[in-house]
Amino acid sequence: MKRFNKWFRNTERGQAILIIAFAMVGLVAFVGLMTDGGVLLIEYGKLKRGIDAAAVAASQQFRRGFNGADLAAAARNFLVLNESDATEILIYRCKLDEEGVEDGTLHDADLCTTPRRKLVRVEATRTVNFGFLRILGINSREISATSVGEAGSIDLVLVIDTSASMAYDTYTGPNADPTLDYTDGIDNTVGNPVDDEDPAVCNISVDTPCQPLEDVKNVALDFLQTMYFPYDRVAVVAFTEQAQDGSATRQHYTVLPLSDTQSDVENAIQSLKVFRPPDCVRDGNLPDPDTPTEGLCRNLDGSGIFKGFECARFRHSMNQDLSSCNSSNIGGALTRAWSEFTVGTVRPEAVWVTIMLAGGPANATDVPQSDVGDPKPPLGWTPEPSFHPFGFCPSVSPPCRDGDASNRNAQGSSDYDADDFARDSADAVADPDNGGGITIYTIGLGGLIQNGPPPGDPDEAEKLLEYIALNAGGGSASHGLYFHAPDSDDLAEIFEKIANDIFTKIAK
């Protein structure tokens, strides 16, 4: 019995050693799992942060003229900066039009959205070496991470002034005077061959196209080279209708809805024409009964020579409606630009931008809804503002402007004018909370921006365009920039600055 008890005690000692040995292995495994598992999580976090930064960096190279190698280099550089030493890096993008092109990127059909988006997917794999787990024969583990970066695509509406002032620089001879106003019913053209400035002539002339509109179109075409079609889209809005048979009205007009086809946008810009109103019909020196009773008409003398524009209502001075004679509806054109973002395929993820080029102060508005269907005042009665069927137009001089750019009037006021309407419209377009949230850039072209026709503030146009670009929509709005271009020679540099500023807004 004593011998058996001794054997049993020796057996228990052997079992304890085995139990302790197994416990030590388990403890090492547990410590290894905790330690190396923590290392694994830390390294994965570093890789994920690096891959996120790499995807954003790669997407920012996604612009016109880029090379796939630029995307790949940007991604790899940011992984290095984030201390993520990946053993394999793969960069994917949509290469529908470039399949088979070897540039360091791969094709991923899932990134080929309709409409296209500037998407880049980055995948990276690296090996994490273990310390404690090596005891269990687990030397290392591969980890992988993926991230999709996007540079905001641009939806851009170009709003171009096509009112009569966009033909005033066509004639550049010794008697040229770009400050003359041919819409006041007074013949200012003695000694000044304004025939060249007749939209019926310069709109179709190859040798003397309407200026400065022709220069504006050429610069706008150059600006398109900064856009990346089909990822970016452009629409074109004109201040006035574009018909050339005398049937055009001063109503703002969509020349082209948002399009991702560069050739369509180029054709739309090239097609822009200066407003061509109907001819004034005369019976000798008196207005013919068939003379238009609203709006502008082309004043021709007895020999058919163009003498400028004339407001038909000046011939019926007892019943003037000046609201029909002006065509610089800045507020209405901005509102139309906003509407272009909300029709067809709407892209809320895109950066919404409007660039407006104007050649003078706002002097026209949309038709106020309350006036639709209102009877016109009887002949011989001076109408109050509410009777103007073509928009808000105080009975003050200059026509449809109260003459004080610092005076912001509320709608319903007897002094509510085209400038007030434009500011209200701009606030709605730019407001990110209750409006369009659109970034607006404005360009004032020519001498009428800082030296407008009297009476009134000579810089009324500039104050308005500055407000639209820099203040409209309040402090939370994404504001653009304002530029004054004394002549069209300054436009190329201005458009380049706008392009650079837009680019800073597109990274997400």
Set out the domains of the chain in order of their start, with CATH numbers: 14-151 (no CATH), 154-503 (3.40.50.410)
Q: What is the mean pLDDT of residues 52-61?
A: 80
pLDDT-derived band at 137, boundaries 50, 70, 90: confident
Residue 267 binned pLDDT confidence (cut-offs 50, 70, 90)? very high
How many Cα neighbours within 13 Å face the side chain of 455?
Answer: 6
Rounded mean pLDDT, 100-114: 85
Measured N-to-C along each axis, helices 213-223 and 262-270 cross at an angle, to the nearest 10 degrees, of 170
Residue 93 has pLDDT above 80, yes or no: yes
Give the model's confidence band at 54: pLDDT under 50 very low, under 70 low, under 90 confident, else very high: confident
Per mean pLDDT, which range of 26-35, 96-105, 300-309, 407-416 is the poorest?
26-35
Res 184: pLDDT: 38
User: Is 437 a residue whose pLDDT tops 80?
Assistant: yes
Please tell me the least confidently modeled range out of 346-350, 400-404, 486-490.
400-404
Q: What's the whole-number average pLDDT of the chain?
A: 79
Most confident of 176-180, 283-287, 484-488: 484-488
Q: Is pLDDT at 40 greater than 70 in this prediction?
A: yes
pLDDT tier at 406 (50, 70, 90 boundaries)? confident
Higher pLDDT, 298 or 190: 298
Region 410-437: mean pLDDT is 91
Give the residue-averaged pLDDT of 226-248: 92
Nearest-5° Cα angle at 17, 13 to 22? 145
**Residue pair 344/429 in contact by the 8 Å Cβ criterion:** no
Q: Which residue has the higher pLDDT, 136 or 279?
A: 279
Indicate the DSSP class of residue 397. Answer: S
Predicted model pTM: 0.79
How many Å apart are CA 321 and CA 313, to the nearest integer? Answer: 6
**Distance of alpha carbon 383 from alpha carbon 390, whole angstroms:** 13
Q: What pLDDT, on the 0 to 100 scale, is given for residue 316?
A: 43
Q: Which range has highest mean pLDDT (40-44, 229-233, 435-439, 501-505)?
A: 435-439
Q: What is the pLDDT of residue 178?
A: 45
pLDDT higher than threshold 90 for residue 21: no
Cis status, amide bond into 389, omega within 30 of 0: no
Burial of 381 (0-12, 13-18, 19+ CB in 10 A): exposed
Lowest model confidence (mean pLDDT) among 14-23, 307-316, 368-377? 368-377
- Bond into 432 cis (ω within 30): no
pLDDT of 242 reads: 95
* Residue 285: count of CB within 10 angstroms of its CB: 7
Structure tokens at 318: 């007892």
The CA distances from residue 245 to 150, 299, 351, 385, 415, in Å, are 47, 15, 38, 31, 35
Burial (Cβ within 10 Å: 0-12, 13-18, ≥19) of residue 319:
middle
* Strands 233-238 vs 253-259: parallel, antiparallel or unpaired: antiparallel
Q: Is the pLDDT of residue 192 over 60?
A: no
Give the model's pLDDT for residue 291: 55
